[in-house]
Amino acid sequence: MGTKEEAQGTLSSTDFGVAASAFILNWNTVCSSFPPWTWVLSHHQVEGYLSLENMLLSSTQEEHGELSCPGPGIHSHQEDPIDVDDATLVHTNPCKVHYYDLHIIYCNSYRVPVLYFRAYDSDGEPLEFDEIEKDLPAYSKKALSDSKWTFITQEEHPYLNRPWYKLHPCGTSEWMKLLFHADDALAKTGVAIELYLVAWLSVVGHVVGLRIPFEMMKQL
């Protein structure tokens, strides 16, 4: 059921937990061939965050690489292409493979989720930002050139106390409010909390090249 928070484009910390549970179930049902999103509890066992680890950014000769599961053997995208509706990440370097860890963390000050990420190569060496920037979609690169350290910043991870990159949450509540108000189906079904993270990541994920399968919006 939607709440006053969703009407403002924000979430309470309690609703974030509800949304996270729904998102995990949804993702793991629709994207069963990909690594699962999991809920990671903090040291105090009270708060937590969503985690997606070891997503493989495979190289292709095309503009868009594909985000795939690093299971036994790395799939060749020429031999086994992933459907365009599947989750994908942009990759423009035809010679390397990069791995990405994604965390979705609740921000108390903005009252919205925030995407944190880090990247590393096949040897486990962390990537410098100029290497990460080469993996980003063209529209993200343009935004970075306009306002590099307000768009993507490097800050201490709230739970791991190590430097991670994050997408700045400024403006999130405004476009989330517009998104929910513009969707008549969401207004009628009253499942805004359960759909919040799917809708949010369908927008935010594009910044780092991650696309949410259309089927995830149909599960609720």
Residues carrying an active site annotation:
170
Q: Kind and range of the H or E element at 14?
A: helix 13-30
Residue 37: which of 113, 149, 108 has the closest Cα?
113
CB 34, CB 210: distance < 8 Å: no
Q: Kind and range of the H or E element at 154?
A: strand 152-156
* Chain Cα centroid distance, residue 199: 11
Tokens (6 digits) for 54? 């070891």
Rounded (5°) CA angle 216-17-161: 105
Q: How far apart, in whole angstroms, are the C-alpha atoms of residue 209 and residue 89? A: 4
SS3 56: strand
